[in-house]
Amino acid sequence: MTEPPKKRGRPRAFDPSLALDRATDTFLRFGYAGASLEALTTAMGVNKPSLYATFGDKRRLFFRALEELATKIGRRCRLAFERGDSLESSLREMFLEAVDIYSSSDAPAGCLVVSGSATEAIVDEGMAQFSRELFALCDKVMAKWMVPYVREGSAVSAMVLSQLCNGVIHDISLRARIGESKVKLREHARGAAVALARSVT
């Protein structure tokens, strides 16, 4: 499968998927407003007309990057959570994974929503809505993971715990972005796992 469909005209000289990854890095690095078309096209190895033909304008390119990255990160978090065999160990795995994601040496530090679309959200209702829906989804999905660990009638519901976990992850992305060391971030992740696990006991 995925054999080339043998299209008619001149073949593209770049890999759209790879180019999108480069665009993601550029948006991560400079933010949405700060990422100039020149920086984007240079990083992507693509001319402006090709960029427009393939991805539409800057804003649509950003949404494509957002969607792709959110999916990737969501999957990594779920897999990390599933590695644990207790609430505390699951949270620890997930938070440590967040440290790896947001302070990887392969990409600019931080989160494309926290430091990208959220910043733009005030002047772009579309980005605000995207962010709200994504946050709501994360809260809801993660709450499901929490259910087995929350006693019935507990003072702390699965949803509250889930929102706190997402808050910790957002905070890790922030602290990574401003250059806190991996050692410190990992300590932070472990401490948060202990505390949040204790909150439902």
Question: Where on the chain is the footprint of DNA (CB under 7 A)?
Answer: 6-14, 35-39, 46-50, 52-54, 57-59
Q: Which is nearer to DNA, 57 or 82 (CB)?
A: 57
**Residue 131 contacts which entry, a copy of itself, DNA, none (Cβ below 5-8 A, type-dependent):** a copy of itself
Footprint on this chain of a copy of itself (rule: CB under 8 A) = 28-31, 33-34, 108-110, 114-123, 125, 128-129, 131-132, 135, 155-157, 159-161, 163-164, 166-168, 170-171, 174-175, 177-180, 188, 191-192, 194-196, 198-201
Smallest distance, Å, CB 20 to DNA? Answer: 14
Write the burial class of residue 29 (CB in 10 Å: 0-12 exposed, 13-18 middle, 19+ buried). Answer: middle
Work out how close the CB of 51 gets to a copy of itself at its nearest, in angstroms, rounded to a whole number.
20
Instruction: Using alpha carbons only, give the angle 52, 18, 101 rounded to the nearest 5 degrees.
Output: 115
- The option from DNA, a copy of itself, none interacting with 11 (CB < 5 to 8 A, set by class) reads DNA
Alpha helices for the chain (secondary structure H) = 16-34, 37-44, 48-55, 58-83, 87-102, 118-120, 125-146, 158-177, 182-198
Nearest partner of 133 among 79, 182, 67, 75, judged by Cα: 67
